[in-house]
Each structure stands twice: as structure tokens, then as C-alpha cells.
Chain A
Amino acid sequence: MIKIAFTGNPNVGKSALINAIAGSNLKVGNWAGVTVEKKEAEFEYKGEKIQCIDLPGVYSLSPYTLEETITRDFIINEKPDVIINIVDSTNLERNLYLTMLLKELEKPMIMALNFYDEFEKLNYKLDMKKFVDMIEMDVVMTSATKRTGVQELLDKALVIAKETKENKKYTLLFDKCLEEAIGEVKCKINCDEKLQKASEKFGLDFLAIKLLEQDKHLLEILKTEYKYEEDSGILKITKQLEDDHDEDIETIFAEGRYGTVKGILAKTFTTSIKSRLDFTDKVDRVLLNKYLGLPIFLLIIVGLMGTVFNGSAPLIDWVDGFVNDYIGKYVSMLIDENTPNWLASLVMDGILGGVGGVVVFVPLMLYLYFFLAILEESGYMSRVAFLMDKIMTKLGLNGKAFVPMVLGFGCTVPAIYATRTLEDESSRRLTAAMAPFMSCGARLPVYGLFTAAFFGAKAGMVVMSLYVLGIIVAILTGLVLKNFEMFKAEGRALLIELPPYRVPSLRVIIKSTLIRTGSYLKKATTIIMGMLMILWALTYFPNNGDTANSYMAKFGKTFQGVLKPTGFADRWETVAAIPPSLAAKEIVVGFMAQVLVGDKEAQDVEEEVNDATTFIEDTVGQLAGLGVAIKDSIVGVVSLDVKGLFSVPDEAEIEEEGSGVVAATKMLWTDELAPLRAYSFMVFILLVVPCVVTLGAIKQEFGYKFTGFIVGILLVVPYIVSTLVFQIGKLFF
């Protein structure tokens, strides 16, 4: 098997190129233990088994960022047979810096000069023969969008991989005093048994340079794995260099590498009067304009919300109907009078309900990933960080975190997945910990029920206050958490590239949308289904569907004492409604209908299937429904109406869940503190674990341990806040 590693700066068209090479074989996952996305593919090409690995986009191989250590460790430990270094040909000077660093690793390499079509349009000239000589590796001109040079690149990479079995030596072309220093350290390495052993793994050049640079990541490995103790002799050479240059050692080497790049380009490259930034400059004059920048950004966000939620809503309804009415109808035919009740309920409510619970999110995922990819690939996402930095940094967050936070008002699940767009691990974690407090759409029916029952005309204001409370709690949580190690953004200063705007390739965007949605289905289904089944079982047993006497009810009665300070727990029904609300918040309404009104009718009506239609009629009906849903979806995207996302269902809509539920809820509490108790309950529902799908998303992105931690926060915080609301509120009643 031939292992090919793709490296390059961010924004050099790496994913488009890999897409063009690996096609449909690409898979996404995460690098072990971290949330950095890892793309890889295995396929056969000309009778050869090939493995492609996409290394994170990096500017350097320093030990300071996660992406850079991943790239570096992978190349050293996994020994790819060939490295494809993808270079933005319109910005050679900056890009070749990484090439110099890669050459120090002494691995077989080939260079892809990407965006070559743009290079030609700009009238830049490169003396290819000389360039190849000086850069010491094969060079292929590519354009992933036009799909030129792609096959040539792969063919040549394979040849290099097969030819070069040993490490490859490159000339590094540092200036004299650096060369001398490197030479001296090499001598020391050859005299030291431990270092000599290490040099077999790391390569002599790399080891010598990193020893001189006092690279903390490498020194750590040398200490633990090779029992190496720091050599004062090398330290002395470093010190001498620093004194001579009046600079720190890393900068000296960096300037050395830039010097080499400049030298090569001076002999091979001719620029023109055109600038690669002309177009970007024009666009940014508007998009980053002092007065227009923020309004346009808000418009884009409204557009994003509108598309993701309004666009997916009709399709979600269709998927829901498809699973429950269409598949449900034919599954239910398998159930006859001899089927025990529990088995029927397990199949219909447990399994089918679980499947439905997972797949209804697919349209949402598709829309989310599609538009996030457009924002990212076009280069606008970096501008979001630029525009919002001043506000978000106060919370210890990256400017880009604004996007997931806003998405949270629609649904927490896409908010969690959108944290992927943030650069560093701690920001991703912190954002994921805060996003669930943004009041999502599924909480609205609960607000609808309880405000209708207890607040009448003041309902609007009450709901508004809940949104505000959610934001405040999120901010406070963020301010507290950012002091903890796990969330500390390492006090990181902002340094981002605002890449040139490029029209994103539709092919790349569609593919990444499909891959990411697929990985949701693969990675999150098990845990979501599992949790939904448990919830079903707890509400069903032990009395065969009699919710009021289920384990859930028992749970409610047991925990009443613990939750007493919150004020709503004097009724077991509210406490018992909390666990089922984890399936989806709106379930609280149906649950109340069942336990308060004893109303099973509402549900039964839904389950009554129309036997009169035939299979073909049903199928045609579903397909027609899909057509309508797609049409409505497009209308939803275009309409840009996001008000609907925040509108509370009125009493009539709530009564559809079970007639009399509002009146029955009104009877929950009759004392003078009743509105306060209701408010405390809504606060609890606002802040408690949103739903199992959110947990599935957090698990997929951050792993089990972090999910457990978040669950803890999402139980403790609502408890504290509800208690505060009730206890303080009581003083004013």
C-alpha cells in the first residue's frame, strides 16, 4: 500500500484537490483524541492500493498549535511514502516557507502548484526548469477547479513513492553561520549514542535544527523516549547565534528560510503589475466596510438562519411523515392481536420512533453543512472572526463562535456541529458548552403551554425574558468555564489570515456536505437511538403504557424532594416530565396531556392508519409529498422570514396535542405562587440538557468524557438558576 500525505497552508485548495483525486472514497473523522477534522481515503489506482491522508492546513511545523504538531508527528511517525505539498502558486513566497520546513524532514516530496489558472491570468512567470532544480522536487501545475494536472500529480507521486525507499536528502541553503552551527550540532549528535538513535527516526537535519531551536515538543520526546538530557554545548551555540543576530533563535531560522525562498524566487519568478488581491480588495471594501460591514454580516446570519431552519422544515415534516405514516403503516401490518402490547409499542414507539428521531435531522444537517461550507470555502468565515472579534473575545471566545451561538436559537444540534469552524480545541469546547443555553425552537411549545396557562396577556414578555435569561446564563457559564484548563484558549492572541475570496467549487461543497451528514448518521445514530429506547422503556413500563404509573412517574415522585427548592417540584408531573423531555423538548406538552388529562386520544388519532389505500397509492403519495416539500423548502429559503423561528405556538395549536391540556396545566398549581412556579419550571426546561440528539452530536465531536461533563453542567446550572428564580421571586410575591 502506498501512503500519500497532503500538506499545505490553509486556503490553498487542498480539499478540492483531494476530492478530485480520491473522489467518493473520502471519509471524515477526527484525529485521535482531538476535534481536528481528519479526511482520508483508500482506493485502488492502476493496480496499486493507495491511502490518501489529508493533513491539517498549516503555516509552519512549530510546536505551538495542535494542527502543526499533528502534521509533524504524522510525517515523522507514520512515514508517508510521498508527501504532496500543495502550494498556492499566486502566493509563492509565503507558501514555500512551509516547503522549506517540510524539506528539513527529509521525506520524498512532490509539489502541486495549485490555482495555476489564476497564476497565468495574473501574467506571472516561473522558470520551471530552474525552479525544479532549486526546489529539488518534481513540480506539477494543477487547478482543482478546472481539474487539470490532477492525474499527472497522482501518477508522478506514485513514481516517486516507489523509487525513493530511503529518506531523501535536500540542500537546505541556510547562510554560512547557520550552516556552521547545524554542522557542529550534527557532530554532537554523531558522538552521542542517544541522539544518534533519535536521528534515525527524526533525520539528522531536522534533529539538529530542532535541537538548536530548542523545540519544546521534540525535547520532550527526546527526554521521555530517549532519556536524553539537555546538552549545554548545544545551548551555548544557540545562545551565541542569538547574541550575534540580536534575535531569538526561532526567528533567526525562520528568516533564514525566508531568505532561501527569496533567493530561489529572485532567480526563477517574475511578477506582474496585477495583484492577486484586486478582486478581494474590491469585495472587502463593501463587506468589511466601517458602516456596512456589520449590517451585511447580520443579513448573512439572518439568511443562514432562514435557510437552515425554514429551508429544512418542510423536508423534516416529510421525513417524519415518511417514517411514521408510510413505513409505520406497513410495519404495523405485521402486528396483529397476538402480538403482545409491549412488543407492538416497542416496535412502533421505541424503534420506529427512534429511527425517526435520528433521520428527521438529516435535512437540517444537509442545509447546515451546505451553507457553512459556502461560508468557509468562499473565505467569508475568516471575516466573521475579524468582524466579531471585539465582542466575542470578551467572553474568551473566537469571533467565529458567534455563528454557532446564533444557530443555537434555532436548534442546538447544528450549533454543536458548527463549532467545527473554530480554529482551536478550547474555543470549540467552550462554545459547545454555552450553545445549549440558547433557547431553541423545540422549547417554544413548552413556553406556549405554560404561558397560556399562567401568564395570559403577558406571555410575550415572559418568553422574551427566557431568551434573555438563556443568553445571560450562557455568558456567565462562559466567564466561569474559561478559567478552567479544558477551556482556556491558552490566552491566545488573534492572528488570522483573511484569504482571497474564491468562488467555491460546488462539487467540493456538495461532497463535504454529504460526507459530514453521513458521518452524523454513522457516528451519532447508535447513541441517540440507545437513549431514545431507554426513554421509551421508562415511560412504557411497568404498566404497559400507562404513563401516569410508569417508571418515569416513579422517578418524578422520587426526585420531588431533591428539586423542592425550585418551587415547581411539589407536583410530581413536572419532575417526571423532565427525563422524557430529553427525547425532544416539545414532548413535555404531550406528556402533560397524558398524565394530567389522561388523554391518550390525541396520540391514538395519529396512529390510526388509513388502510384503504394501496401500497402503490401510498408510494405515489409520498413521492408527491416529497415534491411539495422540496418546493416549500425552496420557498422557505428564499423568504428570509426568521420571525417564525421565535413565534410561540398559540393555545389552539397546543390543544392539538391533547384537548384540555391548557386547562389541566392551569390546575397544576392554584396558590398565589403559581406563576412563579411555572416560570421556574420553564427556566429549568430552558437550561436543562436540550435533547439526546444534542448529546449525540457532542459525543461525536468531543467524545464521551466531555459529554458527561456537559451533562453535569446542564443539570447543575438549571437547578441553581431555577432555585434562585423561585427563592428570590418568592420575596416579591
Chain B
Amino acid sequence: MKLTELKRGESAKIVKIGKIGELKKRLVDMGVTAGEIIKLERNAPLGDPQEFIVKSTNIAIRKQDAQNIEIEIDG
């Protein structure tokens, strides 16, 4: 499933980051790599962007970009 399908407070494992050019490299540099656990912390009050926690770091990205990150929820 896509990262945007994650509900608030839910965690999932990152499976793959799609080919989104430079952003992919920056995401990877900030610790968003395949196999990591990612949690949706909250949406911004206006709905976008979204705040996630990866590697005990809070990061924010827009929904249009989060769409390109594939995740799976265990069990």
C-alpha cells in the first residue's frame, strides 16, 4: 500500500521508494530507507503536508510525494 493510506498513529514498514529523482536521495539521506518503520504522526492543520517519524526523527513531506513511498503493515 501507499504511505498516504496510513492512518494517524499507525506504523508500517517501508518497502520501496519510487523513482522520484532528487527527493528520493534526500529522503534516503534522512533515514527513510527500505526496511525502516515509519509512523504517521499527524497531518498539518490544512491537511497537507504530513508529519512522520522515522529513526526517531520527525520529518514532514507532502502527500503528493508520500504517494510514491510503498509500505506494508505487518501481520
Please tell me if B65 contacts chain A, counting CB pairs below 8 Å: yes
Residues 16-75 (chain B) with a chain A CB within 8 angstroms: 17, 19-20, 22-31, 33-34, 41-49, 51, 53, 55-62, 65
Given A288-B51, A386-B51, the answer on whether A493 and B65 have CB atoms closer than 8 Å is: yes
Docked-complex contact B59 and A495, CB < 8 angstroms: yes
**B19 and A248 contacting across the interface, CB-CB below 8 Å:** yes
Contact A497:B58 (CB < 8 A) given known A59-B29, A97-B31, A390-B48 = yes
Interface-facing stretch out of A251-259, A370-378, A626-634, A718-726: A251-259
Do residues B33 and A386 form an inter-chain contact, with CB atoms below 8 A? no
Please pick, from A65, A494, A500, the residue contacting B61 in the complex, using a CB distance under 8 A.
A494
CB distance B25 to A62 under 8 Å? yes
Q: Whole-angstrom distance between the alpha carbons of A258 and B58 in the complex?
A: 18
Minimum Cβ distance to chain A for residue B32 (Å): 9
Mask of A272-292 contacts with B, CB within 8 angstroms, 1/0: 000111001000100011110
Beta-carbon contact of A276 and B65 below 8 Å? no
Cα separation A391 to B47 with both chains bound (whole Å): 11
Q: A386-B51, A493-B23, A498-B60 are in contact. Are A97 and B45 (CB under 8 A)?
A: no
Note all chain B residues with C-beta closer than 8 A to A226: none
* Interface: A60 (CB within 8 A): yes
Report the bound CA distance from A389 to B44 in whole Å: 9
A122 to B1, CA, bound (A): 35
- Whether the pair A93, B22 counts as a contact (CB closer than 8 A) is no
Chain B residues whose C-beta falls within 8 Å of the C-beta of A250 in the assembled complex = 24-25, 28
Contact of A64 with B by CB under 8 A = yes
**A97 to B20 Cα, complex, angstroms:** 21
Which of A65, A91, A276, A389 contacts B49 (CB under 8 A)? A389
Q: Is A605 an interface residue, CB under 8 A from the partner?
A: no
Contacts A94-B30, A94-B31, A277-B53; is A493 near B61 (CB within 8 Å)?
A: yes
B61 to chain A, nearest CB (A): 5
Binary interface encoding of chain A residues 662-682 relative to chain B, with 1 for a CB under 8 A from any of its CBs, else 0: 000000000000000000000
Given A94-B31, A258-B33, A497-B30, do A290 and B45 touch, yes or no (CB 8 Å)? yes
> A62 — which chain B residues lie within 8 A by C-beta?
25-26, 29
Measured CA separation A293–B31 after assembly (Å): 27
Distance, CA A580 to CA B47, complexed state (A): 47
The one of A251, A387, A492 that contacts B33, using a Cβ cutoff of 8 Å: A251
Q: A494 and B60 in contact (CB under 8 A), knowing A250-B28, A251-B17, A386-B51?
A: yes
Contact (Cβ within 8 A) A254 B57: no
Residues of A within 8 A of B23 (CB): 493, 495
Name the residue on A nearest B26 (C-beta): A495
Tell me if A323 counts as interface (CB < 8 A to partner B): no
B47 → chain A, closest Cβ, in Å? 7
Most buried by A among B19, B20, B45, B46: B45
Q: Which residues of B contact A359 (CB under 8 A)?
A: none
Evaluate contact between B55 and A93: CB separation under 8 angstroms. Answer: yes
Q: Give chain B's interface secondary structure class.
A: mixed
Determine if A496 is an interface residue (Cβ-Cβ < 8 Å): yes
- CB pair A251–B24 under 8 Å, yes or no, is yes
B45 A291 Cβ-Cβ under 8 A: yes
Which residues on B sit within 8 Å (CB–CB) of A93?
31, 55-56
B65–chain A nearest beta-carbon distance, Å: 5
- Nearest residue (CB) in B for A271 is B56
In the complex, chain B residues whose CB is within 8 Å of the CB of A481: none
Q: Decide if B60 touches A496 in the complex (CB within 8 Å).
A: yes
Kindly identify which residue among A276, A492, A495 contacts B27, using a CB–CB cutoff of 8 Å: A495
A642 CB-CB contact with B under 8 Å: no
Query: B60 and A495: CB pair below 8 A?
Result: yes
In the complex, which residue of chain B has the Cβ closest to the Cβ of A101? B29
> Closest CB-CB distance, A80 to chain B, in whole Å?
22
Tell me, yes or no, whether A294 is within 8 Å of chain B by CB. Answer: yes
B28 CB → nearest A CB, Å: 4
Docked-complex contact A255 and B34, CB < 8 angstroms: yes
Interchain CB contact (< 8 A) of B51 among A65, A276, A393, A498: A498
Knowing A62-B25, A251-B33, A255-B34, the reply to whether A275 touches B56 (Cβ < 8 A) is yes
Query: What residue in chain A is nearest B47 (Cβ atoms)?
Result: A390
Residue of A nearest to B58 (CB): A498
Contact A91 B62, beta carbon cutoff 8 Å: no
Q: Is B42's CB under 8 angstroms from A288's CB?
A: yes
A585 to chain B, nearest CB (A): 35
- Which chain A residues in 486-541 approach chain B with CB under 8 Å? 492-500
User: How many Å from the CB of A295 to the closest CB on chain B?
Assistant: 9
Inter-subunit contact B33/A255 (CB<8 Å):
yes
* B residues in contact with A247, CB < 8 Å: 34
In the assembled complex, the CB of A93 is this many whole angstroms from the nearest CB of chain B, namely: 5
From A91, A97, A288, B44 is in contact (CB under 8 Å) with: A288
User: In the complex, which residues 234-282 of chain A have their Cβ closer than 8 Å to any Cβ of chain B?
Assistant: 247-248, 250-251, 254-255, 258, 275-277, 280
Decide if A495 touches B30 in the complex (CB within 8 Å). yes
* Chain A residue with Cβ nearest B45: A293
Within 8 Å CB of B24, what residues of A?
248, 250-251
Return chain A residues, CB-CB under 8 Å to B20.
Answer: 493
Smallest beta-carbon distance A256→chain B, Å: 10
- B33 near A495 with CB under 8 A, answer no
Q: Are B31 and A258 in contact (CB under 8 A)?
A: yes
CB neighbours of B62 from chain A (8 A): 389, 393, 493-494
- Determine whether the beta carbon of B49 is less than 8 Å from that of A94: no
Residues on B with C-beta less than 8 A from A494 are 49, 60-62, 65
Distance (Å) between the CB of A102 and the closest chain B CB? 13
* A500 closest partner in B (C-beta): B58
Residues in A neighbouring B31, C-beta threshold 8 A = 93-94, 97, 258
**Are B49 and A386 in contact, with the CB atoms below 8 A?**
yes
CB distance from B50 to the nearest CB of A (A): 9
Q: How distant is B17 from chain A, measured CB to nearest CB, in Å?
A: 7
Chain A residue with the shortest CB-CB distance to B17? A251
Rounded to whole Å, the gap between the CB of A650 and the closest CB of chain B is 39
Nearest CB on B from A584, distance (A): 38
Q: Are A97 and B29 in contact (CB under 8 A)?
A: yes
Min Cβ gap A143→B in Å is 20
A254 and B29 contacting across the interface, CB-CB below 8 Å? yes
Chain A positions within 8 Å of B, measured between CB atoms, are: 59-60, 62, 64-65, 91, 93-94, 97, 247-248, 250-251, 254-255, 258, 275-277, 280, 284, 288-291, 293-294, 382, 385-387, 389-391, 393, 492-500
Name 26 interchain pairs, CB-CB below 8 A, sorted by A: A59-B29, A60-B25, A60-B26, A62-B25, A94-B30, A94-B57, A97-B29, A250-B25, A251-B24, A251-B25, A251-B28, A254-B25, A254-B29, A258-B31, A277-B53, A277-B58, A288-B45, A290-B43, A291-B45, A293-B44, A293-B45, A387-B44, A389-B60, A391-B46, A493-B20, A497-B57
Contacts A91-B57, A255-B33, A280-B58 known; 16 new A-B pairs at CB < 8 A: A59-B29, A64-B22, A94-B57, A247-B34, A250-B24, A254-B29, A277-B56, A288-B42, A386-B49, A387-B46, A389-B44, A389-B62, A391-B46, A492-B22, A493-B62, A495-B65
Per CB-CB distance, the 8 closest pairs between chain A and chain B, nearest first, are A60-B29, A498-B58, A293-B45, A390-B46, A493-B23, A254-B28, A59-B29, A386-B60
